Structure 1
Amino acid sequence: MYIINPFTGDIVEMAILDWEYNFMGLSWSSMDPESPDCIFFAVNSRQDGKAVGALTWRHGEAKWFERHLEYYEGDPFSVAYNNPVLSHDKFYCLGRKGNLGTFDPASDTWTILEKPNPIHVEMDLEGDHHEGREFCYLVELRGELVSVFMRNADQPPRVFKLNEEEMAWTKVQDIGGAALFVDFRVSYSVVSPKAGHGNRMYFPSYSEDGKQAAFYDMETKAYHPSFYGLKSPLQCVWVVPNLRPHTVSK
């Protein structure tokens, strides 16, 4: 199992996961994954949310350390296919219902938050496979957590911002001129992009038949292109390149 920087060629080799990459999300605690202090965190769950696995790995360790938690009597937490977001020194994980779980690496504890309340309150975790699963995303924007729920290109995505004072999701109609690039592999935000590309959400390709829009414009309230037929590779991921010039010594 590796983390590869496609621009520098740097590779971080991690211990292999015993259950063959069966995780919903993976993240790490440092901008530099090669740092000896970096903590790697992976999370998975049963589809019905009655069991959650929280795993950590550090440089030099021979294997991942797993914490297995069961929720047969309490409220279940079905983890969405989305990478955790590191915020306030904790890993935040989005549930398929729109609730949140956190892992605190300092205290080594996993917590299902009582608030915010779920967005899909009545969702049948074992019934509706589509809603709140492949098409829900968590991303940090200007230090705040934002969740995006997209069902298909016939319905506008729903965007929520976490009000940390009230610990409640607030539905928003714009994102302050920013742009969101979302995918279950990785999501990130760009604050106030230029050239009229703000208030947009860019989505990955989900199918090979081309029936998927490229982005949603929150100002025009429409997907673009407005016609179906756009095709792009399925095996792709959003990246943020470092295009700063480098000085080469001779």
Structure 2
Amino acid sequence: MTYNNPVFFENEFYCLGVHGNLGVCSIQILGVFNPDDMTWRILDKPEPIRSEAHDYGDRFCHLVEFKGDLLAVFRPYDAKPIEVYKLDRSQMSWTEVLRLDDVVLFLDNWNATMKTSLEYGCCNRIYLPVLGYNEAEDHKVSVFYDLEDGKYKPGFYGLTEPINSIWVEPKFYLHM
């Protein structure tokens, strides 16, 4: 059982454990699976990001490959900040990511995907599979976490989560 999908990266499968270790599913053995020769390679590094986390996780954890980089994303079950880390392969260590610049990240409970966006106001955000309500315009809105100010919009509490959700890939256009 895993808490997220493995990522196929440079011809091997990587899994992210609840502690932020790259390993076999959610357990503590650090390794990467190579499907060509059907072997596990044990990794000494990187060190776990969240060694204080409970064994079954105190948040959703995601591993994403984007433009040749591996990113670890930790989304809490409450209004605490979302944490994003990038694997520095030269040092085999995690470095915190404070900005996504021209990228938007979509998370659900088991998957994550990143897209480049030139659409004003969409970048540097993490969209979640939950809905809020815009009282001024009287409709439901998709909730996102803004990395710029570290806040959920609309506010975190009172949100609803659909039983099943999918992400539809948006077509971002640059408004002139």
TM range (shorter): 0.7 to 0.9
**Residue pairs, 1:61-76, within 5 angstroms:** none
Instruction: Tell me the distance in 2 between the aligned counterparts of 1:198 and 1:241.
Output: 13
Change (3 A) 1:130 1:186: closer
TM-score with structure 2 setting the length: 0.76
TM-score with structure 1 setting the length: 0.55
The alpha carbon displacement at 1:174 in A equals 0.5
What corresponds to 2:70 in structure 1? 145
2:6 to 74, 84, 91: 84
Change (3 A) 1:115 1:151: same
Where does structure 1 lack aligned partners over 5 or more consecutive residues? 1-22, 25-80, 207-212, 243-250
Change (3 A) 1:151 1:112: farther
> Helix, strand or coil: the match of 1:229?
coil
The alpha carbon displacement at 1:153 in A equals 3.9
The alpha carbon displacement at 1:130 in A equals 4.1
Change (3 A) 1:136 1:119: same
What corresponds to 1:190 in structure 2? 115
Is 1:94 aligned to residue 16 of structure 2?
yes
What corresponds to 2:27 in structure 1? none
Is 1:238 aligned to residue 167 of structure 2?
yes
Change (3 A) 1:99 1:231: same
What corresponds to 1:224 in structure 2? 153
Give the letter for the 1:113 counterpart. Answer: L
Identity %: 42
1:78-106 CA deviation, whole Å, 9 max, x = no partner? xxx11111111111100111000221111
Q: 1:199·1:219 contact (CA, 8 Å) conserved in 2?
A: yes
The alpha carbon displacement at 1:107 in A equals 1.5
Change (3 A) 1:231 1:199: same
Give the letter for the 2:4 counterpart. Answer: N
Indicate the RMSD between aligned Cα atoms, in angstroms. 2.3
Where does structure 2 lack aligned partners over 5 or more consecutive residues? 24-31, 132-141, 172-176
Q: 1:200·1:217 contact (CA, 8 Å) conserved in 2?
A: yes
Q: 2:18·2:57 contact (CA, 8 Å) conserved in 1?
A: no
The alpha carbon displacement at 1:149 in A equals 0.9
> Helix, strand or coil: the match of 2:15?
strand
The alpha carbon displacement at 1:239 in A equals 4.5
1:172-221 CA deviation, whole Å, 9 max, x = no partner? 11122211112243211001341320011112249xxxxxx821011122
Q: Which has the higher strand share?
A: 2
> Helix, strand or coil: the match of 2:40?
strand
1:163 to 88, 109, 131: 88
Change (3 A) 1:120 1:230: closer
What corresponds to 1:104 in structure 2? 34
Instruction: Tell me the distance in 2 between the aligned counterparts of 1:198 and 1:95.
Output: 27
Instruction: Tell me the distance in 2 between the aligned counterparts of 1:147 and 1:111.
Output: 20
Structure 1 runs of 4+ with >4 Å offset? none
Q: 1:205·1:234 contact (CA, 8 Å) conserved in 2?
A: no
> Helix, strand or coil: the match of 2:41?
strand
Higher relative contact order (CA 8 A, sep 6+): 2
